[in-house]
A and B are shown apart, each in its own frame.
Chain A
Amino acid sequence: MAIHPVHLTVNGHLEQVNVPSNMTLLVLLREVLALTGTKNGCSAGECGACTVLLNGEPVNSCMVLAVECDGAEVTTVEGLANDRQLDPVQEAIIQAGGVQCGFCTPGVLISSRALLNRNPEPSEEEIKEALVGNLCRCTGYFRIIEAVKQAAKG
C-alpha cells in the first residue's frame, strides 16, 4: 500500500508522519501519535466517541483519512486544557456531574467546544442538536446539557 508523507498540527504541535492510504485520522491519533484520549466506539461514524476538531470543525475522526489531513490543524481532548488549566467545558462537565464511564466524554467535550466556539450562547435545543451525534449510554444527557449551559455562562 502506498505511503504518504503528511504534515499536520495536533494540539499545537507540528507532526510529520508517513501514513498508508487507508489509515484513518483516528488510527493516526491513537496508534501512531499515542493520543488515546480520542476513543473508538464503532469505527463507522455513528457514535461520536472519536470526535475531534479538524480545522475547527467537529468530525468523526474514524471517517477521515489521515492522508486528507496534510496541512490541517487537529484538536483532540488532550488539547482542550491549557497547561493543566481545564477548558470551561471540562470544568463544567465535572461540576454538573456529566461524566460517568467517561468513554463518550472526549467526543462530547469536543462537540461542545465546537458549538460554543461558533455559538457562545446556545439554547437548550441548539445544545441537544450539537450533541445528537455523540451517543452516551450512562448519563441520560441531562447533566451534559447542563454542563454546556454552565460553560456558556462562563
Chain B
Amino acid sequence: MGKNFARKSIDPVGESKPRIDAREKVTGEGLYADDIQFGNKLLHARIKRSSYPHALIKKVDISKALALPGVKAIVTGDDFEGYIGLYLKDRHIFCRDRVRYVGDPVAGVAATTEAIAEQAVALIDVEYEPLVPVFDPEFGASPQAPLLHPDLGQYAVASFILPEAGTNISNHFKIRKGDVASAWGKCKAVIERHYRIPHIQHVPIEPHVAIAKVDEDGEITLWDSSQSPFAQRDLIAEALGVSQSNMRVIAPLVGGGFGGKAGVSMESLAVAIATKVNGYPVKLLLTREEEFYTAFVRQGMVAHLKMGCDESGKLLAMENTFYWDGGAYTEYGVNITRAAGYSCTGPYEVPNVRADSYCVYTNHPVGGPMRGFGMPEMHAGLEQCIDDLARQIGMDAVEFRRRNCLKANSILPTGGRMHPTGLSECLEKAAEAIDWGEKSPPSAPNKRRGKGLALMWKAPAMPGNAGSSAWIKLAEDGVLTVGIGAQDLGQGAFTVIAQMAAAAFGVPYESVRLATPVDTRYSPYEWQTVASRITWSTGNAIIKAAQDARHQVLELIAKAWDESPDDLDIVNGMVVSYKSEREIPVKNFAVQGLPKEGGKGWMGGPIIGHGNFIPSDVTGLDPETGQGEHAVVHYTTGAQAIDLEVDLDTGRIEILKGVAAFDVGKAINPELVKAQMEGGLVQGMSSALFECLKLKDGYVQNPSFVDYRIATAADIPKIVQSILVEVPQDDGPWGARGIGEHSMVATVPAIANAIYNAIGLRFDGPPFTAEKIYLAMLDAGIVKGSK
C-alpha cells in the first residue's frame, strides 16, 4: 500500500534525512525526564533495599524514620497487595513477606530532600530470617533446589508461557521436531559444547528516573524515562487497583534504553510512594550503583549444545538445552527464554531438533529484556559450534553456513516456512569484506591475526496481538502533525516515522511534526518500543492513518472539482489532478474546508486521519512440541565478520575491522540504519571483551563504571563497514523490517571465532578479557612466562 504513494509523491523514504530531534539534543534544549522542573513541592524518594539475597521479612520498623523532620511518607509492602508483571505476575511493588535478591525493595521514603530520604532509609529497621539462596540456574531447576516462589502455580500468566508449579521453572519451552535420537547415527560428525554467558547490564548513560504525582481525586501522572508508557499505564494501574484511564504516563526524551526501560521496573515504586502524598510530585532517580544491581539485568545463561551433520556438511540434528538465570522475578524474562526456544537452531534448517529452554528463578538481580532479547546469549555458543562442526568435517566455515543457512521456504524449527530473506547475501558480503579465505599478516611479530564470522536471526518477540496506532492531522500551514505512542530511544524512530508519514501522505519531510512527548492521555496506543518492531508495526499504522487523511482530502477535492478521486494525488503538499491538471495547496482547505459553489455554505472540515495495526497471523505453538504454523511475524537476518589481532605480550584484542551485513527489507533512512549497525557492533564488542556483572553470593561486585567497563572511544574497531541488504518484507512498510537489536547478536561469536582463528583457543564464555586470554595462552604454551 505504501509503495503506491511512494511512487507518486516526492519520496523521503530511502533518503538519509537528518534526525528530527537532533537540534534539540545538541543545544541542550531537549527535555529528559530529570530535566523537567517541578518546583518547591517536589519530594525526593529513596528505597530501603534488601541486603539479603533470600530471606523472610519478619518485621519492618519505620518508627524512627517517620520521626525524622522532612519525611513525608514511608511505604512498605503492607500498603500494596497487588501483583505486577508483563507476562507473569510474580512480583509485588514492595516485598511483602520475602526478599529474593540483594536490592529487592522493602520500603520507600518520600522526603523534602534526597539527603533526608537517604537518612530515613538508614533509620528503617528490617528484621530478616535468612533462607537458603539459589545462584545457579541448573541447580535451581533441579528438585533439590529450595523453592523461591511457592505460589508460582497461582500467578496470572500469559497463555504462551508455561510455568511448572512446585519448581523454580517459570517457563519451559520445548521443541520436539523430527527424530533426534536416530539422527545422530546418520551423522558424520557430532560435537557437544557447553557455554556460560554472564549477566551484563544495559548501561544507558541516562539512569532510570520517574516522577509521580497523585492528585486529590486519585488521578495519577507519571513522568519517566520510558520505552513503554502504555504498558506502564496498564500494569501499574492494575497493580494499584485503579482504572487505566486514571493513570497518565508522560514520556519525554529517553537517554538510552536497550530494553532496560521497557515494561515496568522502578517506576511503580515512585507511583506507589506518591499515592501516600497526594498533590506532591515524588521523584525517584536511580544512582548509577542502583542502576547496576536493581535495574533489569541481561540474564545469565548456561547452554548445552549438541549438533551433527552428514559428510556433505548438511546439518541433521541439534539438541540444545538452555538454563536461563532469570533472577528473583521473571515477569518479563520468561518470554526471552521462549524466544530463544523457538529460535534455538540459529538461522539454519535442521530437520531434527530437540530443545529445552528453561527460565529459572534464582536469587540474582531481576532478568529482563536487553537488546537482542536472548539472541546474543543463544548465538554466542551456537555460532562457535557451527565453526567447530565445519572444521570437524574439514569444511570451510563460510561454505558450511552457505549450505545450511535459511533461504526462502526453508523449514523452521517451529515447523513453518521461512519468508524471503537475504541471509545468503549477507553471508557472502560479510565474508568478502574481510577477505575471507585469505591469510592476512599481523602488524607486528608479537601479534597473531585472526578472522571470524557469525550469522544471526531474530524475530520480534511479542504477544501475537501487540498493537500500534497513529493519527495524522493538518494545520493551517499544511504541516502534518503525527501522533504516535512509539518512543525514540536514540534509534531514530521519530525520524523514520516522520519520513514514512511524509511519504505516505504526500508532503516533504520538512513539513512533518511529531506530537511528542508521548502522553498516554493524548497519544495513540503503542504496545511498547521494544522488539525492533516500531518501523514495521508503527509504520503500518502510519500508512493507514495517512491513507485515511488522504481519502478525506481527495474526496473533498473530487467533489469540489467534479472529478474522480482516482485521478487525484497529493504531491509535495499540493493536490493535483492528472486529468484536469488543476492543483491546489493542501493548506488552502486543510482546516477551513472549501466554500460550496455560489456561496451556499461549506464542505470538508479539519483533516484528521487515523490508523491502527495489529499482527493478524501469529499462531500459537504446541506446548509439547513447539510446532505451529506461524510462530512470529518475521525474522531479520544478518552476518557479522571480524578481523582482529591478539597481542601475545598482553592478551589484548584489537579489532582491526568489524563488518555488519543485515537484511533490513528496506532502509527507510540508510544512514540511521548504518548507525544502528555500528552502535550495535560496538555494544556487542564491549560485551565480548569487557562486560560481566560479577556476582558473588548474590551481591554485585562491580556496580560502577570503574569496575564495570564499557567500550570507550579508544576501544572501537579501526574500520567499521555496514552493508545493507534489502529483500522486502511483504507486510512491512515499503518492505521494511527491524534492525535495532540485531546489530549486536552475532558479535560475540564472530569475535570468538576470530580469536580461535588467531590463537587456536576457545573459552566457555565472554568476556574475552586480556587477562583471560593471556592466561589461556600461557596454559597452552603459546606464550612463555609465569602466572
Instruction: Tell me the A residues contacting B by CB distance below 8 Å.
Output: 30, 34-44, 46-47, 49, 76-78, 80-81, 86, 90, 93-95, 97, 99-106, 109, 127-129, 131-145
Selected contact of B206 from candidates A41, A86, A97, A129, CB within 8 Å: A41
**Interface residues of A: mostly helix, strand, loop or mixed?**
loop
Selected contact of B204 from candidates A40, A76, A90, A101, CB within 8 Å: A101
- For the complex, what is the distance from the CA of A38 to the CA of B287, rounded to whole Å? 17
Question: Smallest CB–CB gap between A25 and chain B, Å?
Answer: 15
Task: List residues of chain A with CB within 8 A of the CB of B597.
Answer: none
Question: Smallest CB–CB gap between B431 and chain A, Å?
Answer: 22
Task: List residues of chain A with CB within 8 A of the CB of B26.
Answer: 77, 86, 90, 93-94, 99, 102, 105, 109
Selected contact of B28 from candidates A42, A43, A76, A136, CB within 8 Å: A76
Least CB separation from B32: chain A residue: A103
A-B contact pairs, 9 of them (CB 8 A): A35-B28, A36-B28, A36-B32, A46-B706, A47-B288, A97-B675, A100-B490, A100-B491, A101-B206
- For the complex, what is the distance from the CA of A49 to the CA of B256, rounded to whole Å? 13
For chain B residues 239-259, which have a beta carbon within 8 Å of chain A?
Answer: 253-258
Contact A37-B18, Cβ < 8 Å, known A102-B253, A138-B490: no
Q: B716 in the interface, Cβ–Cβ < 8 Å?
A: yes
B675 touches A143 (CB 8 A): yes
- For the complex, what is the distance from the CA of A131 to the CA of B204, rounded to whole Å? 17
Selected contact of A41 from candidates B205, B678, B680, CB within 8 Å: B205
Least CB separation from B491: chain A residue: A100
Task: List residues of chain B with CB within 8 A of the CB of A129.
Answer: 714
Contact A140-B716, Cβ < 8 Å, known A39-B205, A42-B705, A97-B675: yes
Contact A138-B713, Cβ < 8 Å, known A47-B205, A101-B489: no
Selected contact of B713 from candidates A47, A86, A128, CB within 8 Å: A128
Selected contact of A43 from candidates B30, B254, B288, B490, CB within 8 Å: B288
- For the complex, what is the distance from the CA of A80 to the CA of B207, rounded to whole Å? 25
B256 touches A137 (CB 8 A): yes
Task: List residues of chain B with CB within 8 A of the CB of A139.
Answer: 675, 678-679, 682
Least CB separation from B22: chain A residue: A94
Q: B34 in the interface, Cβ–Cβ < 8 Å?
A: yes
A78 touches B713 (CB 8 A): no
A39 touches B29 (CB 8 A): no
Q: Give the top 3 A-B pairs by smallest Cβ distance, nearest first.
A: A37-B28, A101-B490, A103-B255
Q: B27 in the interface, Cβ–Cβ < 8 Å?
A: yes
A81 touches B256 (CB 8 A): no
B25 touches A131 (CB 8 A): no
- For the complex, what is the distance from the CA of A153 to the CA of B28, rounded to whole Å? 24
* Total contacts A-B at CB 8 Å: 163
Question: Smallest CB–CB gap between B207 and chain A, Å?
Answer: 7
Least CB separation from A94: chain B residue: B22
Question: Smallest CB–CB gap between B594 and chain A, Å?
Answer: 38
A137 touches B710 (CB 8 A): yes
Q: B683 in the interface, Cβ–Cβ < 8 Å?
A: yes
Selected contact of A39 from candidates B206, B705, B706, CB within 8 Å: B206
Task: List residues of chain B with CB within 8 A of the CB of A42.
Answer: 207, 288, 704-705
B288 touches A39 (CB 8 A): no
Task: List residues of chain A with CB within 8 A of the CB of B253.
Answer: 101-102
B288 touches A41 (CB 8 A): yes
A132 touches B713 (CB 8 A): yes
B25 touches A105 (CB 8 A): yes
Q: B712 in the interface, Cβ–Cβ < 8 Å?
A: yes
Selected contact of B203 from candidates A37, A137, A143, CB within 8 Å: A137
B678 touches A142 (CB 8 A): yes
Task: List residues of chain B with CB within 8 A of the CB of A141.
Answer: 682, 711-713, 716
A102 touches B705 (CB 8 A): no
Task: List residues of chain A with CB within 8 A of the CB of B22.
Answer: 93-94, 99
Least CB separation from A31: chain B residue: B37
Q: B479 in the interface, Cβ–Cβ < 8 Å?
A: no
B27 touches A86 (CB 8 A): yes
Q: B186 in the interface, Cβ–Cβ < 8 Å?
A: no
- For the complex, what is the distance from the CA of A47 to the CA of B705, rounded to whole Å? 7
- For the complex, what is the distance from the CA of A129 to the CA of B492, rounded to whole Å? 28
For chain B residues 192-251, which have a beta carbon within 8 Å of chain A?
Answer: 202-207
Least CB separation from B206: chain A residue: A103
Question: Smallest CB–CB gap between B228 and chain A, Å?
Answer: 16
Task: List residues of chain A with CB within 8 A of the CB of B704.
Answer: 42, 44, 46
Selected contact of A97 from candidates B30, B31, B672, CB within 8 Å: B672
Task: List residues of chain A with CB within 8 A of the CB of B206.
Answer: 39, 41, 49, 101, 103
Least CB separation from A103: chain B residue: B255
- For the complex, what is the distance from the CA of A93 to the CA of B28, rounded to whole Å? 14
- For the complex, what is the distance from the CA of A36 to the CA of B253, rounded to whole Å? 13
Q: B720 in the interface, Cβ–Cβ < 8 Å?
A: yes
B205 touches A136 (CB 8 A): yes
- For the complex, what is the distance from the CA of A135 to the CA of B255, rounded to whole Å? 12
Task: List residues of chain A with CB within 8 A of the CB of B491.
Answer: 100
